[in-house]
């Protein structure tokens, strides 16, 4: 019995290893897999047969010969296994359906105006899942899992949302509540950490060990990778860079402190700044909006792009404080890359050079010259995708 158990474990181990090698290499032959893993041709062949039978990989075309017969190549099979990712924010739930190759199959969104209870969210999510699997005829056994990104602290051991202050959630558990899909594995992740996972898996931080993703939207948070792994901190709250103090005399923050980065550089801060200036009657394109409520980040960015100085100044000022916080982060953590994402992608091109100038002048030369600061290529969907990648990481043993 013990031997069988060990063989089962070994078989699973080999399958995961080879599956991940197919993913990383995108296209690879049996001989190359045997070479890399050190497994015999027979063991490699058996493992591959099992993976093909289960539908994870398939044969695709013929590769180049290295002397003998031209080998049959292998790659991940697309649209065979799926994963669902959800990003739950204060005003909407975003969903994405991807397959095991990381290809996006479908996106969905549910908006709301008032704070949503956990019970309501569960109902909405169950409906979104049902709609997606019906539309794409996905059997639940082909659903690798569901990931949930939330703006709060999660427990990586219990997969619970420990605290999401802006949602008003405290110790809630998706796995226990999504009763219609209780057999589908579920994963929960902080939204900034989910973004970092996404950038590392399919974004601009593939192959990077020490990088930081900073999400700028109504709040500001970061996902930190150290030594190739997501760093959660001692109790799971690492990355709260929105509460780095950037101006001792700045406005009071929701956290009780003063002049936190969030109070100066979040989109909420940008909006309230813009509205204040409009109220003061400063000459600006923003005065064209009769109702202050019609001014959102899109309107400010649009005005700035049309040459409106007030709007551009607002964005620049917010970026300046971001530059101060990033300088602190660069000095403390010496990352090789910092990716700025979420709503920042809407105006990042206008202010990125300003941020880089500040980091060059304020951070130490050595870490400042070793860090790339870039705008996320992925955009606002990054945490939704990161949530969907969580079940993929489990599949590929990562």
Q: Which residues bind its own copies (CB under 8 A)?
A: 153, 163, 209-210, 222, 224, 226-227, 229, 231-241, 243-248, 255-257, 324, 327-329, 331-336, 361-367, 370-371
Q: Which is nearer to its own copies, 112 or 258 (CB)?
A: 258
Closest CA to 223 of 308, 368, 342, 109: 342
Closest CA to 390 of 53, 87, 28, 46: 87
Q: Which is nearer to its own copies, 210 or 343 (CB)?
A: 210
Beta pairing, strands 143-150 & 186-190 = parallel
- Which tokens hold the place of 112? 């709301």
Q: Which is nearer to its own copies, 226 or 287 (CB)?
A: 226
Residue-wise DSSP of 38-52: ---HHHHHHHHHHHH
The least CB distance from residue 303 to its own copies, in Å, is 28
Residue ranges of the alpha helices (H) in 26-162? 30-37, 41-54, 118-135
The least CB distance from residue 200 to its own copies, in Å, is 14
The least CB distance from residue 222 to its own copies, in Å, is 8
Phi, psi angle pair for 397, to nearest 5°: 70, 30
Half-sphere exposure of 118 (CA within 13 A, CB side): 19
The neighbouring-strand residues paired with 212 are 224, 338
Closest CA to 335 of 239, 261, 220, 235: 239
Q: Which is nearer to its own copies, 186 or 215 (CB)?
A: 215
Q: Is the C-alpha dihedral spanning 326, 330, 332, 336 positive or negative?
A: positive
The least CB distance from residue 353 to its own copies, in Å, is 19
- What is the rounded CA–CA span in Å between residue 378 and residue 196? 11
- What is the rounded CA–CA span in Å between residue 111 and residue 113? 7
The least CB distance from residue 256 to its own copies, in Å, is 7
- What is the rounded CA–CA span in Å between residue 332 and residue 334? 6
Q: Which is nearer to its own copies, 367 or 386 (CB)?
A: 367
Q: Which is nearer to its own copies, 333 or 394 (CB)?
A: 333
Kind plus residue range of the DSSP H or E element containing 320: helix 309-333
Determine the number of helices (DSSP H) and then strands (DSSP E) in the chain.
Answer: 13, 16
The least CB distance from residue 227 to its own copies, in Å, is 6
Q: Which is nearer to its own copies, 242 or 386 (CB)?
A: 242
CA angle, corner 344, sides to 342 and 345, nearest 5?
A: 80
The least CB distance from residue 275 to its own copies, in Å, is 25
Q: Which is nearer to its own copies, 23 or 232 (CB)?
A: 232
Residues in the chain: 398
The least CB distance from residue 207 to its own copies, in Å, is 12
The owner of tokens 């990088």 is 211
Kind plus residue range of the DSSP H or E element containing 76: strand 72-76
Task: Write out the E strands in 173-293.
Answer: 186-190, 211-216, 220-226, 229-231
The least CB distance from residue 172 to its own copies, in Å, is 16
Closest CA to 52 of 9, 11, 15: 15
Q: Which is nearer to its own copies, 143 or 162 (CB)?
A: 162
The least CB distance from residue 323 to its own copies, in Å, is 10
Q: Which is nearer to its own copies, 268 or 336 (CB)?
A: 336
């Amino acid at each position: 019995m013990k031997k069988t158990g060990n063989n089962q474990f070994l078989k699973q181990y080999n399958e995961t290893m080879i599956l991940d090698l197919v993913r990383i290499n995108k296209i690879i032959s049996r001989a190359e897999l045997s070479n890399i893993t050190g497994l015999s041709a027979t063991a490699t062949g058996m493992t591959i047969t099992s993976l093909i039978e289960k539908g994870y990989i398939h044969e695709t075309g013929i590769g180049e010969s290295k002397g003998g017969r031209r080998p049959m190549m292998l790659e991940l099979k697309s649209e065979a296994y799926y994963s669902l990712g959800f990003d739950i924010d204060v005003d909407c739930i975003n969903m994405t359906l991807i397959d095991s190759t990381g290809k996006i199959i479908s996106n969905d969104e549910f908006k709301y105006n008032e704070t949503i209870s956990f019970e309501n969210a569960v109902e909405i999510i169950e409906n979104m899942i049902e709609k997606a699997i019906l539309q794409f005829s996905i059997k639940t056994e082909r659903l690798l899992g569901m990931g949930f990104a939330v703006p709060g602290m999660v427990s990586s051991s219990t997969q619970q949302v420990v605290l999401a202050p802006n949602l008003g959630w405290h110790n809630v558990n998706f796995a226990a509540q999504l009763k219609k899909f209780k057999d589908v594995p579920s994963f929960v992740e902080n939204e900034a950490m989910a973004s970092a996972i996404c950038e590392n898996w399919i974004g601009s931080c593939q192959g990077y060990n020490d990088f930081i993703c900073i999400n700028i939207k109504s709040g500001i948070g970061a996902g930190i990778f150290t030594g190739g792994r997501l760093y959660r901190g001692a109790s799971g709250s690492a990355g709260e860079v929105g509460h780095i103090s950037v101006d001792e005399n700045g406005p009071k923050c929701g956290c009780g402190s003063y002049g936190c980065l969030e109070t100066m550089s979040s989109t909420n801060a940008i909006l309230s700044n813009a509205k204040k200036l409009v109220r003061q009657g400063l000459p600006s394109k923003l005065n064209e909006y009769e109702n202050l409520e019609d001014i959102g980040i899109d309107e400010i960015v649009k005005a700035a792009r049309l040459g409106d100085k007030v709007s551009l100044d607002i964005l620049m000022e917010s970026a300046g404080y971001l530059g101060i916080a990033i300088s602190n982060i660069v000095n403390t953590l010496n990352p090789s890359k910092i990716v700025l994402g979420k709503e920042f992608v809407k105006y990042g091109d206008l202010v990125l050079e300003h941020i880089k100038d500040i980091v060059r002048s304020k951070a130490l030369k050595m870490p400042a010259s070793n860090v790339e600061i870039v705008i996320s290529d992925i955009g606002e969907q990054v945490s939704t995708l990161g949530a969907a990648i969580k079940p993929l990481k489990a599949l590929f043993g990562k």
